[in-house]
Amino acid sequence: MATDVVVPTLGESITEATLGQWLKKPGEQVKADEPIASLETDKVAVEVPSPVAGVIGELVAAEGDTVNVGAVIARITEGGAAAASATPAAENKTEVAKAEKAAPAEPAAAPSGDAPSGEESGSEQTLSPSVRRAVLEAGLDPSKIKGTGKDGRLTKDDVLAAAKAGTAKSAPASAPTAAPAPAAAAAPAASGGRKEERVRMTRLRQTVAKRLKEAQNTAAMLTTFNDVDMSAVIEARAKYKDLFEKKHGVRLGFMGFFVKAAVLAARDVPSVNAKIEGDEIVYHDYVDVSVAVSAPNGLVVPVIRDAQDLTVAGIEKTIGDFGKRAKDGTLKMDEMKGGTFTISNGGVFGSLMSTPIINPPQSAVLGLHRIEDRPVVVKGQVVVRPMMYLALSYDHRLIDGREAVTFLVALKNAIEDPTRLLIDL
């Protein structure tokens, strides 16, 4: 008996998704609740579990297809043995696309002794588009890289780490003794031709592009800068990080300090934590901070709820959990919704300065940047201090320049004197 696999409910107001990746192929055995496909929605990737134990039969949809909630994407034969040769058109289309991307410069006819094993071929099939592209660009052998993602799957970070370490290099293919004419004709294009690759935007990237452009078209955006001396926070972190991690089970970072400082500054300047709705201004008596964290498919922005009620330890635990689950692809829809203020830390990637874009309907976003030693004047003396540039982008329709500067100064004062965070000053 065949059981249909349908697209599950994806959350409020979400009616469709993109089939990002098949995790199983026709003829493979699956267990009940074992993930068989990955869907990309406007916000996160969602895995589709098998409703029953059995064998993958027909794949109704192909990777890259747009599928509606409730639509059938595959069928599973319960307890039976499906014929792997009966591969449907959707699977054929997926395999052809993968073959074209996975071996663009391979000879047309490789010697029989160089054929990949079934295990290596299987691992190739489970690579996501972004991971596959990173593997090709770095010239690595994915079978030699240890995956840290869910069920041991490779993530983009795994590939980048292997490339940086210089491991898992792909062995060059041995040239056949008598290359056929088609391969010889293709050689000039492979060695000297300029290449282009056309990759369909993920649904997440489409949504990000749409919302960011919407912000530029709607808000009167302006960015105000300041800098902050990180000496006190660095000293406090160095002094207490071991005790902090031992007690709370999480590392003490800088984001905990900045989230607390932003909450404190937002009390003085409530418009930074407000939004425009029609011809009204909506003020919040709570601060839900959206924090950008890195995921295999790009940055995602989960929300720290009621940040005003959390300690630095509570904030660090929440951010650490978000980061781990972002890499595993297990963040939930509800964790990505809402938010009254955003903090984006481009400094972890080496950014010196930027003008972040507002995340509608929010009215402000704080950009953090890298810490570097710079000469500054302190009490008439030129000294070297670890400095960071801060950038506050805001909707000038709601927030005046005076308010933006006041917010940044309050945040700067709290970071340069962390005692203010303890006494609510």
Handedness of CA 257, 260, 265, 271 (dihedral sign): positive
Helices (H), 219-305: 231-248, 255-268
In angstroms, rounded to a whole number, what is the distance separating the alpha carbons of residues 155 and 408?
A: 37
Helix (H) or strand (E) holding 58: strand 54-59
Three-state SS at 13: coil
In b/e form, how buried is each residue of 283-305, taking b as 16+ CB within 10 angstroms? eeeebbbbbbbbbbbeebbbbbb
Place of tokens 């400094």: 347
Orientation angle between helical segments 312-328 and 255-268, nearest 10 degrees: 120
In b/e form, how buried is each residue of 110-133, taking b as 16+ CB within 10 angstroms? beeeeeeeeeeeebbbbbbbbbbb
Annotated catalytic residues are: 396, 400
